[in-house]
């Protein structure tokens, strides 16, 4: 029993696309600015394991494989507790900022978690939205901090 989810989002970030992309491709740095990404371990040049926990009392164990690290599209395939893809589209905005778009398509893996997802879809969407709000706030803080340390 599996459950598929598609998450999309679009934001403006007050930093140039090159800086935004550099932060997003640095998976090892995620725990320093995204509170729900509790740990990231490198599994090789294109692979990492990430542990993520938002509001619900469950930690997702994800294995990520880089498919594209070049803007405008940053893309990873996902394995572990979820299977699918996550892509960030990083494009120049109109005033030196960045238009950032998320496109995530995943399927819940595992029989128990899949069964729970089948009945708890709205709760899992709420959990994901909370994680994304926090991640966006953390990304904006990280970019402001990086700009301040460079005197930009």
For 53-81, what is each residue's pLDDT tens digit?
A: 999 999 999 999 999 999 999 999 999 99
Whole-number percent of the chain with pLDDT over 90: 82
Q: How far apart are CA 127 and CA 134, in angstroms?
A: 11
Instruction: Give the residue from 111, 65, 55, 117 showing the smallest Cα distance to 86.
Output: 65
For 82-125, what is each residue's pLDDT tens digit?
A: 999 999 999 999 999 999 999 999 999 877 677 777 788 899 99
Residue length of the chain:
152
pLDDT of 50 strictly over 90? yes
Angle, to 10 degrees, between the axis of helix 17-25 and the axis of helix 121-150?
120
Residue 146's pLDDT is 78
Q: Mean pLDDT, to the nearest integer, of 34-50?
A: 97
Whole-number percent of the chain with pLDDT over 70: 95
Instruction: Provide the CA 27 distance to its chain's centre, in angstroms.
Output: 9
Task: State the pairing for strand pair 4-13/98-108.
Answer: antiparallel
Alpha helices (runs of H) in 3-110, residue ranges in sequence order: 17-25, 30-33
Q: How confident is the model at residue 1 (pLDDT cuts 50, 70, 90)?
A: very low
């Amino acid at each position: 029993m599996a459950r598929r989810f598609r998450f999309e989002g679009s934001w403006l970030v007050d930093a140039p696309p090159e800086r935004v992309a550099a932060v997003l491709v640095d998976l090892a740095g995620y725990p320093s600015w995204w509170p729900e990404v509790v740990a990231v371990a490198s599994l090789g040049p294109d692979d990492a394991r990430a542990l993520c926990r938002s509001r619900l009392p469950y930690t997702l164990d994800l294995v990520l494989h880089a498919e594209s690290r070049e803007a405008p599209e940053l893309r990873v395939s996902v394995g572990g507790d979820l299977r699918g893809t996550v892509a960030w589209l990083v494009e120049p905005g109109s005033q030196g900022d960045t238009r950032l778009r998320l496109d995530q398509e995943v399927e819940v893996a595992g029989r128990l978690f899949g069964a729970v997802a089948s009945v708890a879809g709205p709760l899992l969407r709420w959990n994901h939205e909370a994680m994304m709000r926090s991640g966006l706030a953390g990304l904006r803080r990280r970019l402001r901090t990086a700009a301040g340390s460079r005197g930009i």
